[in-house]
Chains A and B, each alone.
Chain A
Amino acid sequence: MELKLTEISDSVWHLLPEWILISSLIASVILGLILTQNRQTILHALALVTYLVAFFIIIQQWPSQPTSLFGGMLRLDDFSSFFKLLFLGGGFLTILISTKKRVATASEYILLINAIVLGSCLLAMSMHFVMVLLSLELVSLSSYILAGFGFDKKSSEGSLKYFLFGTVATACMIYGFSLIYGLSGTLDFSSSQFVSALSNSSSTLVLIGSFFILAGFLFKITAVPFHLWAPDVYESAPTPIVAFLSVVPKLAGFAILVKVVLSVNLFGQSDYPWQTIVAVIALASIVVGNLSALAQTNPKRMLAYSSVAQSGFLLIGLATLSMEGIHFLMFYSVIFLLMNFLVFSTLHQYEHAGEMLTVDSFAGLGRVSFLPAFSMLIGMVALTGLPPTAGFTAKLLIFSSLWASYAETSTGILLILFVAGLIATVISLFFYLKIPYFLFLKEVPSNAARTKSSRSGNLLHLILVILLIYLFIQPGVLMGWINQITFVL
């Protein structure tokens, strides 16, 4: 690969948001060493400002011509910019809700979140398998450490489990890269060489290699059968971290998964039934996620399985392999970010009063303070996919694309997915409503811990609630924006 110096210097400016993230990351390490222990809020403020600045720079870049950077390692286009905005938004919200500060490790905390956001941004832009590996590992390694930030035995166990599963998934992915490299002779999965070599190859290794690659991404998005780590990690990690891990790395995984699946599907030319494969994974995630969540009594484990099921719904958009489906996947991603943060942030607020180990501990708290309970209710209703929240719109759109895809191709698995997905919504109501049920319907036990509802927390929740309802009434605002995104590989 030849790379001209001018090309590199041109590329550098396109990565301005990433440079800002890197500088902020280094600054937070240095500031962490200098600042006295009670001044650590400065670090939070720095991170918030960083995300805001990077956010506005990306908006400035919008809409952009797809630009290939660093000789085809990365590509800046609207598709990746869209996801980058989501990652920055996710990082921003995470810092905002990280109210339980552990002073001694504050700078590491910020640093790791920064690193994951950075890795996710790069991952969304990657067009080359080596770049995919590097950025994915930046995300993964930082996540393993963050998952252990509870600093107790359980948290270490979760972190270790995450690490072990993660390394195996990465190993699979690298093995897949090597197989595909051997078959195609290139690591750039957007190149015409890649497409022509794979479409001429009749070896089954194409299927096996591609599936190994996808395994690495499916692990990140907690799709069945790569979801086993999620419940343990979610249960043991601090709640803001769980909110973060359940959104940012997951959406990064989706961004790259979409690109790679479209690429290995060879734009419809592939001999292998990629549509069926994605649909089966989506179906399995929805069914396993929803059914496993039913039996959970720990709210965070329940939300872990809910997150598995939500991945299944997002995958439906990909399973249609249509532009519309992927647009709706992006719409769903935004809503997913909003509703997930709403639920976890409310959960975190309740945790201030004491550990919420089982759903029973919510009993009657809705009568003690109304607003947090109301936010929780709206969050859960949105996750279930009921009006009047944007969760309904997102599900409606994604199922519409599935129906259209079925009507076009008459693939049986898509119909099964359609019906099973909608029926799963009824099942999911049962566990999503569990917490609101305890909040509102149960009597307050005499020894209940009183939640102090913080004003800033309530304000944040209220904003998220209003956004969820607003996007239900006016989905066109967001959809009109997403519709501008076209992506050519």
Chain B
Amino acid sequence: MNLLSLLIFVPIVAGLAALAIPSRYAGSFRLLSLAVCLIQSILLIFIFTEYKSGVGFQLIEKIPWISLDLGTWGILQAEYFVALDGLSLPMVALTVGILLIATISSWTIDKNRKGYFILLLILNGAIIGSFCALDFLLFYVFFEFMLLPMYFLIGIWGGPKREYASIKFFLYTLLGSILILIVIVGLYLSVKTPDASDRVVHTFNVVHMQDTDNLIPGSALALDSTSQLGPYSFRLWAFLLLFVGFIIKLPAVPFHTWLPDAHVEAPTPISVILAALLLKFGGYGLLRFAYPIFPDSAIYFSWLVGFVGLVSIIYGALNALSSRDLKRLIAYSSVSHMGFVLLGIASATVEGVTGAVYQMVSHGIISAMLFLIAGVLYDRTKDRLIENYSGLAVKMKSYTAFVLIAFFASMGLPGFAGFMGEVMIFFGAFQSHSANGLLPTWMAIAATLGLLLGAGYYLWTIQRMFYGTYAVRNTLTDLPDLNRREYLMLLPLALAALLFGILPQLLLNFINPFATEFVNTWFPFEKLLTP
């Protein structure tokens, strides 16, 4: 068992083992959860020492899993295949960090601690597993495996409308994953392993799927397939299904409506995980599966991908501007920021793709911070309406400092991580028109509006809540400033947001080789420009 498998299964095994601990030892569960996160952090350090910056997959572990004889069609083969590359390593690192902070943030959970921490541990393993899996079936299993824990975490420990929010989250996400499953079924039956044997071996191996030489000639998803359905060929449909499936998770307009509800109702640590990690599967899925497996279709639909991204940027920002609830504002800002990821991916340039991955990491850090900030206020007053606060800067000095850092980082101010991601996405989007002709320049120009609106809603919120004379409506209690535990959560995030803003090379060392290979392999400019 290599390091990666340990990283995935330590939390799952710990979670199952915790079932045996009687629930009267309520304090032990959070300690166990914290211990697991610390072990994972140590494992992560080992992973970084083993990982050599460069191209391709590393720390590979491959074990045969399912091998089914399908009679005349050949053999179905699924593997336990996990590995890391420049795309998944930053995601896994982000996951370990965020889950550590989410566990600290869960310290105050009192209701049924046993259930809560067991679900959190299982969720932990499932998230890392999904980021590492290179077998489409394995990915799907981990991906689905996140749903149930998340459903219960929102549905049991959430706010007043938690039941509605949790079922809406579940249905939306399941719809997305069913669309993905449709493609998985069609795809594995169209793909065979390259090694020649007398029987066809249908594989779920994503690396094999990404190589069009492995498509079975005459199958429905073959490059020269003549199968049509309505206006599009099957390959185009398959890409569209994957695209919709993943942007539900991202989420992009018009499939974003589950997000504000889920965020507003979820408890703070779960909001943090949802925003910082689960949303990343949208971008990750497109970069890992949809784009490399169907590059031809991706080029065909790049305008659509870019346009959906643009709409999300602007629509999300406008909604954030009109939100009265602080958490809802942050949720909509997430929609807006994840729209940039789509725009970067759609440009299919090295800058754009690098920026998209960078943006995913920086959004992970910053949105975690934003939701923790909303949580701090909610813990004290059980009220998140912006209009009920003013002049908080007077009473909560260090809290205000962190809010300013988080807001400015999210706005994309130079010096913070958010700036690096967005600026590279803009490079890519502007360059796309001349480099590969996929995105029109007006899209890049229109997307800058998102930055302006972002500055608008954040500055306005600061003005309303933190400036002026101190007043808090509906609350008689005094508002204490940050306590030690809250410092412990916010300080590392703030430092990370600064660090990746000042020393982008730390991340680019991993992301850039991936993006270069991604573009050169599947979207080379010379191929795209010659008609």
Which interface class (under 10, 10 to 19, 20 to 34, 35 or more) fits A? 35 or more
* A407→B167 contact, CB < 8 A: no
A387 to B129, CA, bound (A): 14
State the Cβ distance, B188 to closest chain A Cβ, in Å: 8
Interface residues of B in 143-161 (CB under 8 A from A): 144-145, 147-148, 151-152, 155-156
State the Cβ distance, B14 to closest chain A Cβ, in Å: 17
Partner of B152, one of A388, A430, A440: A440
* A contact set with B: CB distance below 8 Å: 323-324, 327, 367, 381, 386-388, 392, 396-397, 399-400, 403-404, 406-407, 410, 415, 418-419, 422-423, 425-426, 429-430, 433, 437, 440-442, 473-476, 479-480, 483
State the Cβ distance, A391 to closest chain B Cβ, in Å: 12
B109 within 8 A of A: no
17 new A-B contacts at CB < 8 Å, known A426-B175, A441-B166? A323-B71, A323-B72, A327-B71, A386-B174, A400-B76, A400-B185, A400-B188, A403-B186, A404-B189, A407-B186, A407-B219, A407-B227, A426-B178, A476-B66, A476-B68, A479-B68, A479-B69
Interface residues of B in 41-95 (CB under 8 A from A): 65-73, 76
B-side interface mostly: helix
The answer to whether residues A410 and B178 also contact, given A387-B141, A476-B67 and a CB cut-off of 8 A, is no
Partner of A419, one of B112, B170, B182, B219: B182
The answer to whether residues A388 and B141 also contact, given A404-B189, A430-B171, A441-B155 and a CB cut-off of 8 A, is yes
A-side interface mostly: helix
A407 to B163, CA, bound (A): 41
Instruction: Kindly list chain B residues whose C-beta atoms are within 8 Å of the C-beta of A437.
Output: 155, 163, 167
A153 to B508, CA, bound (A): 74
Instruction: Kindly list chain B residues whose C-beta atoms are within 8 Å of the C-beta of A426.
Output: 171, 174-175, 178
Instruction: Give the number of chain B interface residues (Cβ < 8 Å).
Output: 40
User: In the complex, which residue of chain B has the Cβ closest to the Cβ of A418?
Assistant: B182
B1 within 8 A of A: no
Most buried by A among B73, B112, B229: B73
* A422→B181 contact, CB < 8 A: yes
State the Cβ distance, A476 to closest chain B Cβ, in Å: 6
B9 within 8 A of A: no
Instruction: Kindly list chain A residues whose C-beta atoms are within 8 Å of the C-beta of B181.
Output: 396, 422
B318 within 8 A of A: no
A476 to B145, CA, bound (A): 22
Instruction: Kindly list chain A residues whose C-beta atoms are within 8 Å of the C-beta of B163.
Output: 437, 441-442
User: In the complex, which residue of chain B has the Cβ closest to the Cβ of A429?
Assistant: B174
State the Cβ distance, A260 to closest chain B Cβ, in Å: 22
The answer to whether residues A367 and B69 also contact, given A407-B220, A437-B167 and a CB cut-off of 8 A, is no
* A441→B156 contact, CB < 8 A: yes
A437 to B155, CA, bound (A): 9
A406 to B189, CA, bound (A): 12
A381 to B147, CA, bound (A): 11
Instruction: Kindly list chain A residues whose C-beta atoms are within 8 Å of the C-beta of B112.
Output: 367
The 10 closest A-B pairs by CB, nearest first: A387-B141, A407-B220, A441-B155, A426-B175, A387-B144, A483-B69, A479-B68, A422-B178, A324-B71, A403-B185
The answer to whether residues A324 and B73 also contact, given A419-B182, A422-B182 and a CB cut-off of 8 A, is yes
Partner of A415, one of B71, B72, B171, B229: B229
Partner of B167, one of A397, A423, A430: A430
State the Cβ distance, A487 to closest chain B Cβ, in Å: 12
Instruction: Kindly list chain B residues whose C-beta atoms are within 8 Å of the C-beta of A406.
Output: 220
